[in-house]
Amino acid sequence: MIFSSISFLFYFLPILLIIYYVLPKKCRNVVLLIASLLFYFYGEPKYILLMLFTIFQTYIFGILIDKYKNKSKIFLAISICISIGALVYFKYIDFIIENVNLLLKNKLSFVNIALPIGISFYTFQLLSYLIDVYNGKCKVQKNIFKLALYISLFPQLIAGPIVRYTDVEAQIEKREHSVEKFAIGVRRFVIGLGKKVLIANICGEFNNAFFASSEKSVLFFWMYGISVMLQIYFDFSGYSDMAIGLGKMFGFDFMENFNYPYVAKSVTEFWRRWHISLSSWFKDYVYIPLGGNRVSKIKWIRNILIVWILTGLWHGAEWNFLIWGLYFGIILLLEKLVFGKILEKIPPIFSRIYTLLIVMISFIIFNSENFVQIKENLLGLISYKNIPIISLESIYYIKSYLVVLVIGIIGATPLMKNIVTSKKIEKIVQIIEPIFLISLLFICTSYIVDGSFNPFLYFRF
């Protein structure tokens, strides 16, 4: 079940909200826990047992780590091995077998096991909980049902943001509910839904048309690069907005996950604005434990490359993701060691163009299926193999999707936010906003009912 589906929008969510607010406050965590497990069961019925096992082992090892301080490191290591082992098996085993076969010329059979939805996200959540218990940053949760709610909470279960236990520990025990907070949640959810359905999905249609085209041009390659940037951003930030909005409807405050990354003036700044929960997770639980920047330069370079290789692999068991992560690691090192200060001194328009170009190349790599496709899509930007600058087919598709691409470009900047939050038009916004949100929900529903292109990219992570 995805948030941008009729079954969620008009059945699951309304019924859950009614039950949640009708029952006494003391029952609300139980309602959310049952609903979250049902939500996961609907999408992955055969993996609900894996989810329950994950919750149980996290609960047991959390208690052991807290109770037996002299052996806490051993218990932490065992739990990490179990969790990472499950992640490696379900997500990377066939990738490992494929590359072992290529390297050693073996013929090992593939496991061909389906990837449990959201395993990368909830694995990182339980790891952060156990590590924080071990380091004394949070108290162990001795109520298994409350811990289960943290791990399985449906708004952020399958695609983030990666919520840490320290951020919601107090909210699980007691959280604020109000009409104002609920309204903010609804507003955030509907805007996120609009991002997903009306921009990301339509950009996805354009990208599919690009791959299906036999008359590509340089202009078409560039428009594809822009479109894939917009699709990935609005797909994931839209889902994060919906998750944050749903959290507020149920009284939770989740961290922000995006902060207009496409206005960044360096790749370093871009990653402070993009997928913030993942970046901060790797910083706190991998980079700093490795020594961060408080080590020799060689080890510091090693630490950065390890983090970015892991970041790439976290996104998927394919070489394009590994190359994508390593690409960013190298660019970030170059900024820190070579031309970071130059970017600070040149006019912002040039540093932004540089950042957008680097990011566009990265997402072309990210969205490619193999090395051949990476090569063709990158070289196509510079008229590889005498590709024409423009073609009739590319003009047709650009005209068809230009409005959405322009709206996406504007929406990826703070321009509209600055306008609607201006005090000069505050009263006008208060009148128009409800009409706008209702209209947006209606249009999104129409697209969904029509059976339009409606995938979710981050389900595979």
Q: Please give the positions annotated as active site.
A: 315
Rounded-to-integer distance, Cα 265 and Cα 260, Å: 11
Contact by Cβ (8 Å): 65, 140: yes
Q: Is-contact 287 303, C-beta < 8 A?
A: yes
Instruction: Answer for the pair 208, 409: CB distance below 8 angstroms, yes or no.
Output: no
How many residues are there in the chain? 461
Closest CA to 227 of 206, 246, 242: 206
Question: What's the distance, Cα to Cα, between the start and end of the chain in Å?
Answer: 16
In sequence order, which residues have a C-beta less than 8 Å from that of residue 369 and are 6 or more positions away? Answer: 318, 320
Provide the token pair at 93: 């085993």
CA-closest candidate to residue 319, choices 117, 49, 99: 99
d(C-alpha 164, C-alpha 458), whole Å = 19
* Helical pair 165-173 and 119-134, crossing angle rounded to 10 deg: 90
- Distance of alpha carbon 33 from alpha carbon 324, whole angstroms: 36
Cβ-based neighbours of 322, under 8 Å, separated by 6 or more: 309, 312, 313
395: how many CB neighbours lie within 10 A of its CB? 13
Mention every residue, 6+ apart, whose C-beta is less than 8 A from residue 195: 234, 235, 237, 238, 241, 411
Structure tokens at 201: 């999905």
CA 397, distance to chain mean position in Å, is 28
Question: How far is CA 14 from each of CA 44, 211, 246, 293, 434, rounded to the nearest angstrom?
Answer: 22, 39, 12, 49, 19
CA dist., res. 314 & res. 273, Å (int): 18
CA 82/CA 75 separation, integer angstroms: 11
